[in-house]
């Protein structure tokens, strides 16, 4: 199997985390040529990433890819057994795709201060903050959806990582001030992952949500900790 993606794609990284977590025999490769190149359009006519070539069956969309990987490689499970708990996990992944990512994506096209539209930036920043407020009101412990690492963590962690680093560039201050975030360096090149020890935690206090990364993943997990770092253990 081959997963076509690029290192800075948060949707691609959703699926990369699943591949790593499951130890699945999936090769992670860049799309041949550019996204709209004839070579890549022959694989995925939508010209989007990620896309999974599952031995001749082409599967597009990160959410569909992750559900396929969950069924194809059931261990370790990234969805709970109970229907209610599975629905909770999926509510996080859909919230990410439909509500958290879109205003962040708008901001990506406003990175150049010379061409930046102040009104678009203001509106998008406010929407990101609103969605983070909603997320914080629902986040579980010790992981996003509760007691175990799930597809919810795979979806949320890359975008939260980007938000913590990119959004301050728009002059909105620290988006996570007062939220209690603990995070870590995330290797942007999958080849870097082999240099980390799974048991090593990198933690940086960035302030309100609590996010903890284990080093051999792009990200592994949320840790709700409103009392500060001392409670993390």
Q: Is the pLDDT of residue 224 over 50?
A: no
- Structure tokens belonging to residue 214: 């284990």
What do you get for the CA distance between the two ends of the chain, in Å?
Answer: 39
| Bridge pairing between strands 204-208 and 57-60 | unpaired
78, 70 in Cβ contact below 8 A?
yes
Closest by CA position to 14, among listed 165, 144, 197, 182: 144
**Within-domain flag for 23:** yes
141 and 34 in a common domain: no
Q: What is the mean pLDDT of residues 11-30?
A: 88
8, 189 in Cβ contact below 8 A?
no
57 and 22 in a common domain: yes
End position of a domain, from candidates 72, 99, 115: 72
The CATH number of whichever domain residue 113 belongs to comes to 1.20.1050.10
199 and 137 in a common domain: yes
Domain count along the chain: 2
- Structure tokens belonging to residue 100: 């958290």
Highest mean pLDDT out of 124-138, 151-165, 209-223: 124-138
115 and 93 in a common domain: yes
| 69/212 Cα distance (integer angstroms) | 24
| Bridge pairing between strands 51-54 and 2-4 | antiparallel
Residue corresponding to tokens 């983070």 = 132
- Predicted confidence at residue 181, as pLDDT, reads 46
89 and 60 in a common domain: no
127, 103 in Cβ contact below 8 A?
yes
92 and 50 in a common domain: no
135 and 97 in a common domain: yes
End position of a domain, from candidates 22, 42, 72: 72
**Within-domain flag for 21:** yes
| 9/13 Cα distance (integer angstroms) | 6
The 10s digit of each residue's pLDDT in 67-115 is: 999 999 999 899 999 999 999 999 999 999 999 999 988 888 887 888 8
**Within-domain flag for 77:** no
Q: What is the mean pLDDT of residues 50-67?
A: 94
90 and 36 in a common domain: no
Integer-rounded Cα radius of gyration of the chain: 18
pLDDT, mean over the chain: 74
- Structure tokens belonging to residue 22: 């499951």
Which residues, at least 6 apart from 229, have a Cβ–Cβ distance to it below 8 Å? 182, 203, 205
Q: In what helix (H) or strand (E) does residue 2 lie, and over which residues does it extend?
A: strand 2-4
**Within-domain flag for 131:** yes
96 and 59 in a common domain: no
Count CA within 13 A, CB hemisphere, residue 20.
25
SS3 of 183, please?
Answer: strand
The CATH number of whichever domain residue 55 belongs to comes to 3.40.30.10
The 10s digit of each residue's pLDDT in 180-221 is: 443 333 333 334 333 333 333 333 332 333 333 333 333 333
End position of a domain, from candidates 52, 72, 92: 72
**Within-domain flag for 78:** no
DSSP string for residues in 23-86: T---EEEPPSSSTTSHHHHHH-TT--S-EEEETTEEEESHHHHHHHHHHHS-SS-SS-SSHHHH
95 and 164 in a common domain: yes
Q: What is the largest CA-CA distance in the chain?
A: 54
Between 130 and 226, the higher pLDDT residue: 130
189 and 89 in a common domain: yes
- Give the range of the structural domain holding residue 90, as residue numbers without chain letter: 83-231
- Predicted confidence at residue 141, as pLDDT, reads 67
114 and 20 in a common domain: no
- Predicted confidence at residue 175, as pLDDT, reads 67
| 114/230 Cα distance (integer angstroms) | 43
């Amino acid at each position: 199997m081959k997963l076509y993606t690029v290192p800075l794609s948060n949707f691609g990284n959703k699926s990369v985390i699943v591949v790593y977590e499951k130890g699945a025999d999936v090769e992670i490769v860049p799309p041949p040529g550019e996204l709209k190149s004839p070579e890549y359009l022959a694989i995925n006519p939508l010209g989007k990433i990620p896309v999974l070539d599952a031995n001749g069956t082409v599967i597009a969309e990160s959410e569909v890819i992750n559900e396929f990987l969950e069924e194809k490689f059931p261990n370790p499970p990234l969805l709970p057994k109970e229907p209610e708990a599975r629905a909770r996990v999926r509510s996080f992944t859909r919230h990410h795709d439909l509500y958290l990512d879109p205003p962040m994506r708008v901001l990506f096209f406003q990175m150049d201060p010379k061409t930046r539209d102040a009104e678009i930036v203001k509106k998008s920043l406010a929407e990101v903050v609103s969605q983070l407020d909603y997320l914080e009101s629902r986040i579980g412990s010790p992981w996003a959806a509760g007691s175990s690492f799930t597809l919810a963590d795979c979806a949320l962690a890359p975008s939260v990582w980007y938000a913590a680093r990119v959004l301050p560039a728009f002059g909105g201050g620290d988006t996570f001030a007062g939220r209690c975030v603990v995070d870590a360096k995330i290797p942007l090149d999958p080849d870097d992952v082999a240099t980390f020890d799974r048991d090593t935690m990198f933690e940086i206090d960035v302030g309100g949500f609590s996010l903890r990364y284990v080093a051999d993943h792009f990200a592994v997990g949320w840790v709700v900790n409103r009392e500060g770092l001392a409670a993390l253990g």
